[in-house]
Structures are given as structure tokens and as C-alpha cells.
Amino acid sequence: MEQTAAQLHPVDTAIIVAFLILVTAVGYYMSRVASQGVEEYFLGKNKIPWWVLGISTATSNFDMTGTMIIVAMVYDFGYRGFLVELRGGVGLALAFLMVFLGKWLRRSRVMTSAQWMRIRFGTDRAGNAAHILSAVAQSVLSLGMIIYFCVGGGKFLEYFLPWDKDICTLLMVAVGLFYTLMSGLYGVVFTDVIQMIILSFTAIYVAVIGFSVNLSEMLKSNPQSLPKEWMGFTFEIPEAVKGNIDSTLAGVKTQASAAIETIKAGGEATTGGGDLTFWTSVLTKTDNKLAEFAPLMEMFSVFVLFYLFKVTLEGMSGVGGYTDQRFFAARNEREAGYLTLESILISILRWAMVAGLVALGYWLVLTQGAVYPDAVQQISTDSEKILPVVIGTLFPLGIKGFVIAGLIAAAMSTFDSTLNAGASYLVIDIYHSYINPKASSEQLMKASRYATIGLATLGVLLAMLIPNINTIWDFITMGLSAGMFMPLFLRWYWPRLNGLGFAWGTGAGMAAAFLFKMLPAFPLYVTFPSILAISLLVSIVASLMTRPVDEAILIKFYVQVNPFGFWGPYARKALDTGTIDKESRFKRIIENLNDFIAICLAVPFQLTVLLAVMAFVFHDWLKFSGFAMVAALCALGLYFFWFRNLKSLEDCEADEREFGAATAGAVASSGQAAVTE
């Protein structure tokens, strides 16, 4: 058996059970509202306040599994671990959603990201091809995120509960499935509010305790254990940091090998008991970590550039899933901006907690080895375990239960959001559009619940086959997502992209992602651009070889959404036909210009505000001052170029009267067209 789990006191157990009962009760209460129809079940009928949606977005991004990975990366690489987490953990796409992409999604007035394809590509065979490929791709991504939740959640809880990770996963899934099944998006977002209250306390408590150990001073006192370069912020990993990581892992590997030999000879290892399984697991994990870190340390700047390029492409394309769902559910485009800003600001709590956990992890390793030898052993062996080890070792009675409840809340919020969004693709975009377009409201609700149960069950079963959190995270963020990036990007900015180009590009990209996954010899810097290039090339060739989208559809899309890109000819045609006037055209140009300036401010604002809070917890005052100053200047610029230019509520209501009914009618009739063609 692996290192012993931290035993929970009955008081801590009671706190966790009380939390689970509370969220279950809220979900049950909200079921009366959500059961009225699929629009209520998946979008809350666009009646949910922006601050609730913003909290829900932040809570869903504050997932426990991702936090375990982020803590491990920052622990190993310092501030450079933040740069590694540009691949997804930072959530930089929120800056793009706040400035322009969120309002574009809300202006679309659809229920799902797949349904959006029909207002961009039409409802002919090409448009339906884009629709069905998008629905399938988003469903696969949702399933991948559910697997990711299950792997990380089980790994965390098995440290505290007397069961293996699969049983722990089943417990969390059962509760999250119940209230999501009963109450849809209403239950998801309102339980997320409760979960964020608990998470906020958890994050603040961890950050305060981490701040109290004064990491900067501690590292100065232990230069032989951790080089001063660990606190640097550069795009290369210094040799001293590389050597420290290599020597630490080599030491663990030597210890594990010696313990295995001792046990095989009939003796007993000095740490970890006489369990051969444990030490074999330690040796395997250490070898995997050495293999994972080797290319990252040698080509760190290349990897960071890849991650930055990837997240910029993602931010300009749209992330899909539960994130898009929040914007479709917003009451208007102004509130879509508000909810994203709120989500960015709440994410400060997550990174304060990360910094606190890293500080406490080093405090344990550098100063408490004699007091907590098992805890130090587990952190040295697997830095992804810092989160449960710190909580189980250092937190007092009552606080421990509250913190664990908060982290379970983080995990469940990601799970329930993904599950609800994933079910919407299966029901709205596949079942209602192609299988049973005449389905009654009752039939759609029943199908929604079947889809929810099916996704959860399949996710749990597949999670049992995935040994490592980072494995599934890399496949989702750098594999499957990469296969969709180029078609999703082109759909906003290149009008010549048609439904068949989108469908073929998405299919080719995802097929390439699966192919490269089966050929692990290729490094990330080969697979990622290769998948992008294949998807881009197929999208362009397929579009140019087939009929373009009907001009009337493109003009309507431009008028309704006003995206960036090569839409000039359609803007002029809208002007010529009287669809818009010269004043409206000028306002649209100014809006795009302001948005372009604002995004150049929003990205550094989000990055520096998160880095500033980390530096504050680390007592790194020079970096804190620099990051805070940049964040303040960017915030001032955002006030003038973004906030002051948000559309007024009166204009939002006018747009809803102009576009709302027409869009709803077109989307509603498209399911029938899909079947009859």
C-alpha cells in the first residue's frame, strides 16, 4: 500500500458531509425551476444574474485537479512554473472573452457552441456538417474533462479517506451527478456560489499561513537545498535549478532502488515499510517525471512560446464547453463583460492559494524533515501530492475539514459544469437536431438526464485507465484542443471558410491528435504545430474546393456579431442594401479599434495581477512592486478603452428586439431542415 493516508477527525468528516448535503439540497430545490424545459435546464432561460455566472465561471476554473498540477509546477520551477501554466492553468482566454469574444458569443443568441455553426454556415448540408462535427468534438472534449476531474479528484481524496482513488471518485461523482441531473444549469451555478464561499475561505487561509513562513527568507537560509535562481523570472531555466531538480529526483530514484533490493532480499526499507508495491510505484513515478521534465528544461523558452501561442489562439477562437455556455446564458452582452472581469479577479484567490501551498511545501521539506519524514518523502517523490500532504499534515482540527470541503467544491464545480455542457451537445445538437426533431419538452428533458448519466458513467470508467493527471491534461490542452483551434479561429475572421471546410478541418485535426497520441516518440514542439498545420491546410483546401457560404447568411452574421477580420466586403454590401447606415458602420469600426487596444491591455493585466499576488505571498517585494504597477496601469487603460465603451442596457435591449426573435426562429427551424434534406 502507498504511504498512509491522513486520518480525518470526526469533526472534519462532519463538515465535509454537511457540505455535500447542502449542495445536494440546493440542487434538489432548484430542480423545480430547471424542469420546465431545456432552455431552463441548459441556459437558465437567460435570467441568471451576471455576478452568479461570473462566480460560477471562476469556480469551474478553480478545479482541484488543475490546482494540484499548478502547485507542482510552481514548486519545481518557481515563477517559471507560472509560465508553464500558460498552457491552460492561468486561464488567459478570459482576457479575450472579457474584451470581445464574450460579447460575440452572446450576440449569437444560441444555446450551444455547436448550434452556433448554423448562424455562421447556414442550415444546408455544409452547415449541418459543421454542426455535427462541432457537436461530436465538443462532446469528446467534455468527456476528456470529466476523465480529468475523476483522475485528480480520486488522487486527492484517497489521501484522506480509507478507500482507493476509484471509490473516492465514485463518491464525488455521485453527489455532483445528482444535483446536476436534477437542476441543470440552475443547480450548477447556484451551488457554485456556495462552493466559492467555501473556496474563498480556503484560499485566504492557505495564503495567510503560507505568507507567514516567509519563503524568500527561508530560501536565503537554505541555499544548499534550493538555489537562489529558483526565484528568478526568466525564459530559460538556470543550470542551478536544473541541477537541483535532477539531483532531487536522482536521490529519490536511488533510495527507491535500494529499498526494492532490500525488500527482495528479505529485509525492510527504512521508510515506507516493507511494501514492495509502494517502492516500485515510487521508482516508476520518478522515471516518468525525469522523462517529462527533460525536454521542458532543455527547451523551456520554446515551450513557453508554444504555450503563449496556443492560449492566444484559444482566446481568439473560443474555448467551447461550459465557458461558452456562461456567455450564451448571460442576460445581455454588457453583463457578459462584467461576468468575465469578475472571474479574472476571483482567480487571484486561486493563485494566492497556489503560492501559499508552495511556501508550505518548502517549509516542510527544508525545515521539518525530522518531524514529518513521510510527508517530506511523498512531496519529494511526487510534487503533485503537495496539496493533500500539506493539508493532511499541517492543518488543525475543523480547518482541515473545511479546507477539504472547499477543494471538493472546486473539483465538483468543474465536473458539474462540464457535465451539463456536455449533455447539451448530445441532446440539443445531436438528439433533437438529427434523431428526434419533433421531440416534446418532456422527451428532451428525459434525454437530457440520460445523456448526463451516460457521460458521467463513461468518464468514471475511462478514468480508471489513466494513471497520471498530467497525461490527460496534456492530451486535452495540447492534443484534442489543438485539433480544433484552426477551424474555430478561421470561423470568426475568414468569411470564405464554409461548413465543409470547418468539418473537414476539425475532423483532420482531431484524427491527427489521436494519431500523435499513439506515437509518443514525437515531442510536443513537433506534435502541436503539426496538428495545427494539418487542420489549417485541410480547412482552407476543403473550403476553396467547395461552394462558399450564402452571401445573405454572411451579411446577417456580420451585422449581428461585428467580428474582426476580412469582413469588409460584407460590411459594404450591408451598407449598400441599407441593412446598416454610415453612422452604424463607423461605430462598428471604432468598436473594433477599441477592442484591439483593450486586448493589448487586458492580457498583461491578467498576467501581472496574478504574478503580483504570488510575489506578495512569497515576500518577493521587488517583483510585487513591478507586477502591481503594470497591473494598475493596464487597469487604468482598460477603464478608458473597454469599460467606458460597453454597450448600454438600452442598446442591448434594442439589439435583442432586432436580432433575438429572428435568430431563435432560424435555429429552431434548423433541426427540421437537418433531417429533411
pLDDT at 310: 83
Average pLDDT over residues 15-41: 72
| Residue 233 pLDDT greater than 90, yes or no | no
pLDDT at 353: 94
Tell me how far apart the alpha carbons of residues 122 and 519 are, in angstroms, rounded to a whole number.
38
Distance of CA 221 to the CA centre of its chain: 37
Average pLDDT over residues 578-589: 93
The domain covering 10-549+647-676 belongs, at the CATH homologous superfamily level, to Sodium/glucose cotransporter (1.20.1730.10)
Compute how many other C-beta atoms are within 10 angstroms of the C-beta atom of residue 308.
Answer: 15
Tell me how far apart the alpha carbons of residues 344 and 94 are, in angstroms, rounded to a whole number.
7
Tell me how far apart the alpha carbons of residues 440 and 628 are, in angstroms, rounded to a whole number.
55
What the block records as the C-alpha cell of 165 is 482513488
Tell me how far apart the alpha carbons of residues 330 and 69 are, in angstroms, rounded to a whole number.
31
- Specify whether the CB–CB gap between 222 and 366 falls below 8 A: yes
- Specify whether the CB–CB gap between 81 and 70 falls below 8 A: yes
| Residue 104 pLDDT greater than 90, yes or no | yes
pLDDT at 520: 65
pLDDT at 1: 34
Pick the range with the lowest mean pLDDT from 70-74, 227-231, 458-462.
227-231
Length of the chain equals 677
Tens-digit pLDDT profile for residues 261-298: 777 766 665 555 556 666 676 777 776 666 666 677 77
Please tell me the pTM assigned to this model. Answer: 0.85
Percent helix, strand, coil in the chain, to 5, is 80, 0, 20
Tell me the DSSP string of 489-534. Answer: HHHHH-TT--HHHHHHHHHHHHHHHHHHHT-TTS-HHHHHHHHHHH
Burial pattern 594-624, b for ≥16 Cβ within 10 A else e, equals: bbeebbebbbbbbbbbbbbbbbbbbbbeebb
pLDDT at 292: 66
Q: What is the mean pLDDT of the chain?
A: 83
What the block records as the C-alpha cell of 482 is 489543438
| CB-based contacts of 664-671 (< 8 A; 24+ apart in sequence) | 664/109, 666/118, 666/119, 666/123, 667/109, 667/110, 667/111, 667/115, 667/118, 667/119, 669/123, 670/118, 670/123, 670/127, 670/131, 670/433, 671/432, 671/433, 671/434, 671/437
What are the sequence ranges of the domains in the chain?
Answer: 10-549+647-676
pLDDT at 183: 67
Average pLDDT over residues 646-659: 90
Average pLDDT over residues 500-520: 85
pLDDT at 663: 54
- Specify whether the CB–CB gap between 235 and 223 falls below 8 A: no
Binned at pLDDT 50, 70 and 90, residue 112 comes out as: confident
